[in-house]
Chains A and B, each alone.
Chain A
Amino acid sequence: MLTASRASLKALSIGIGLLFTGAVYYTMHYNPRWDWTAPGVGKLPRDIVAEFMDRAYAQGQGGTAQLSYFAKDAADSAPAAQDRRDGAPIPHQVRQVIAQGMTVAVIHRIGPARGEPAQDVIDVFTIKDGRIAARERYPTRFAAPGQEDAS
């Protein structure tokens, strides 16, 4: 039979609890499964895409942005797209963003820039580990204002 004070047992248990907390933090934080260099680590897929598009279109830094935002082995059906090159800012208008899970579809009109004509596209991004793992581009054409079929 041992005797101990309640206060010391309580302090001991809290100490062990804090030790466990530190151990869990350390083990998880330094787990090699996380790529802390990914710009979108822990962020929502739609936010990652929005950040990339802001860099690539509004700031015209697509070349540098794609280096960090696109995974090295990313599949891109439009690898020569303007948004993967640095240059003058590209005017564009986002019509709609549809996000489900790790998939983000952006329906947008890319204005004429850098000697290329305007184009309407649907970009479907797939996010993995804080980066864009795939981008599928579907060229389309938006109806001109007032020409939508009202039937």
Chain B
Amino acid sequence: MNDDRIEIALNAGTLWRAVITLLRLFLGAWMLNSGYSYWAQEFGLPPAFPQPFGTLPASNQMLVTMVEVGLFDFVKTVEVIGGLCLIFGVFVPAATLLLLPVSAVVFYNAVFLNLRTDRLFSPTYMGVSCLYINVIVALAYVRHYLPMLALHSAPGSLRDLAALPTIFKQPDSNQHT
């Protein structure tokens, strides 16, 4: 069979991969819009939505302060880069991990600062759903994280960077079908 062609079994494994792919793409789309909106406003372009500054005082304070001290520049850049990676399917495990702290702060802001516990299990409320989706996608790629979760490890050397080109190798062949 042509190396470019793959076989897709119609089973639970394929369904799982399809669901994870859709969740990955939706998370990427959300992050890209969120990051874009912030930078669009900075450059006078139409944002998807104006930067929200929270509903309750503690949330107002955190979000306004994050913008004022420049931390949002970093956060929104991470969202754009991470979102693009998820949409284009490149560096997905790293991008998922990169976005996890962002999703966690979004969740914290929604639940602990804006007290939206009433929507804790609302799938349409991205204040909480982005963390749930992020965690599910991360779990789906957990085999990529296992090496760095090693209990025992020893430092290598900068010569290990010579292996860097391997990250551009051919698509992951793990099918789990």
Contacts from A to B (Cβ < 8 Å):
1-7, 9-10, 13-14, 16-18, 20-21, 23-25, 28-29, 31, 34, 36, 41-42, 44-46, 99-102, 130
Docked-complex contact A2 and B7, CB < 8 angstroms: yes
Number of chain B residues whose Cβ lies closer than 8 Å to a Cβ of chain A = 40
Given known A-B contacts A3-B6, A6-B6, A24-B33, A41 and B64 have beta carbons under 8 A apart: no
Contacts from B to A (Cβ < 8 Å):
1-2, 4-10, 21-22, 25-26, 28-30, 32-33, 37, 41, 46-51, 53-54, 57-58, 60-61, 64, 67-68, 86-89, 171
Docked-complex contact B87 and A28, CB < 8 angstroms: no
Q: Which residue of A lies closest to B68 (CB)?
A: A44
Docked CA distance A4–B18 (Å): 14
Q: Out of A2, A6, A9, A17, which one reaches B86, CB within 8 Å?
A: A17
Q: Out of B8, B49, B88, which one reaches A29, CB within 8 Å?
A: B49
| Chain B: minimal CB distance from A148 (Å) | 29
Q: Which residue of A lies closest to B3 (CB)?
A: A6
Docked-complex contact A6 and B61, CB < 8 angstroms: no
Please indicate the chain A residues that have their CB under 8 angstroms from the CB of B60 in the complex.
101-102
Docked-complex contact B7 and A16, CB < 8 angstroms: no
| Chain B: minimal CB distance from A45 (Å) | 6
Docked CA distance A9–B6 (Å): 10
Docked-complex contact B87 and A21, CB < 8 angstroms: yes
Docked-complex contact A16 and B50, CB < 8 angstroms: no
Please indicate the chain B residues that have their CB under 8 angstroms from the CB of A21 in the complex.
28-29, 32-33, 87
| Chain B: minimal CB distance from A151 (Å) | 34
Q: Which residue of B lies closest to A22 (CB)?
A: B29
Please indicate the chain B residues that have their CB under 8 angstroms from the CB of A10 in the complex.
89
Docked-complex contact B64 and A1, CB < 8 angstroms: no
Q: Out of B29, B47, B54, which one reaches A24, CB within 8 Å?
A: B29
Docked-complex contact B25 and A20, CB < 8 angstroms: yes
Please indicate the chain A residues that have their CB under 8 angstroms from the CB of B37 in the complex.
28, 42
Docked-complex contact A3 and B4, CB < 8 angstroms: no
Q: Which residue of B lies closest to A100 (CB)?
A: B61
Please indicate the chain A residues that have their CB under 8 angstroms from the CB of B88 in the complex.
14, 17
Q: Which residue of A lies closest to B87 (CB)?
A: A17
Given known A-B contacts A25-B48, A101-B60, A13 and B21 have beta carbons under 8 A apart: yes
Given known A-B contacts A1-B9, A100-B61, A20 and B29 have beta carbons under 8 A apart: yes
Docked CA distance A49–B33 (Å): 28
Given known A-B contacts A13-B25, A29-B49, A102-B60, A6 and B8 have beta carbons under 8 A apart: no
Please indicate the chain A residues that have their CB under 8 angstroms from the CB of B7 in the complex.
1-3
Q: Out of A1, A6, A25, which one reaches B10, CB within 8 Å?
A: A1
Please indicate the chain B residues that have their CB under 8 angstroms from the CB of A7 in the complex.
4
Please indicate the chain B residues that have their CB under 8 angstroms from the CB of A34 in the complex.
49-50
Docked CA distance A130–B49 (Å): 13
